[in-house]
Amino acid sequence: MSISEKQTIKCPACGEISDLTVWESITVGDSPDLKADLLAGKINIFHCACGQKALFPSPILYTDDEKRLVISFSPQTDNAEKLKLFEEIKKSSEKSGELEIYTDYNLRFVTSYNELLEKILIFDNNLDDKVLEVIKLLVLSQESDKMPQRACIFGKCDGGAIEFLVTDSKENQVYTSRVPRETYDTIEAQLRQSGVKFKSFNWEMIDAEFASSLLRGRNNTL
């Protein structure tokens, strides 16, 4: 069920008071329009008449039963806090027994809005983020000296290729990188072979760190 509440917000720039509908839970089956708003970057984003725009720092639980996907989004930029939140959500889900409902689901924990939108798009394209995180790392490592200044996100999947957007913060540039679909299929098969599960049994954080630990642990298999 999609759940929201009204919040009164004071604009940090001009002090104007306005109301914002803050969504705590979005269930795609009941509210496809809310999903469209989320993908358009309109959910929980505060817009002031003065032009100020900011994310209201509140968690969102996103459920897509058709795609068997649940994403728990808790805005957080601090890495230590992020890990703490991740442990908390795992513990409370284990305690409540709710994981049993989600035995054939993918459960994801994310801390940035962009990551939330990226995951939705990935599963909408019938792709898996575990494979894509590995490919993203391989794309970035083509120019390993520039890795610290670059970020790679999933763009789209069309015809025989998957397109990634590589943002370079130092050069102030966005590059596109296309990877053949066969690469995806090969990596997926290799991950399956090495024991990676494509269903969750608990919340998972699937990010660059996940991919690099996979590559570190399985040297020479990819």
Contact residues for Zn ion, defined by CB under 5 A: 11, 13-14, 16, 48, 50, 52
CA-wise closest residue to 124 among 222, 51, 30, 28? 28
Cβ proximity to Zn ion, 54 vs 161, nearer residue: 54
To Zn ion, the closest distance from the beta carbon of 51 in angstroms equals: 7
Q: Quick check: 9 and 37 in contact, CB under 8 A?
A: no
Cβ proximity to Zn ion, 17 vs 101, nearer residue: 17
Q: Quick check: 170 and 149 in contact, CB under 8 A?
A: yes
To Zn ion, the closest distance from the beta carbon of 47 in angstroms equals: 9
Cβ proximity to Zn ion, 20 vs 89, nearer residue: 20
Q: Longest Cα pair distance anywhere in the chain, in angstroms? A: 58
To Zn ion, the closest distance from the beta carbon of 188 in angstroms equals: 47
Cβ proximity to Zn ion, 51 vs 217, nearer residue: 51
To Zn ion, the closest distance from the beta carbon of 20 in angstroms equals: 12
Residue whose pair of structure tokens reads 């509440």 in the numeric block: 5
Neighbours of 88 (CB within 10 A): 11
Q: What's at 170, amino acid-wise?
A: K
The burial class, CB within 10 Å (0-12 / 13-18 / 19+), for 114 is exposed
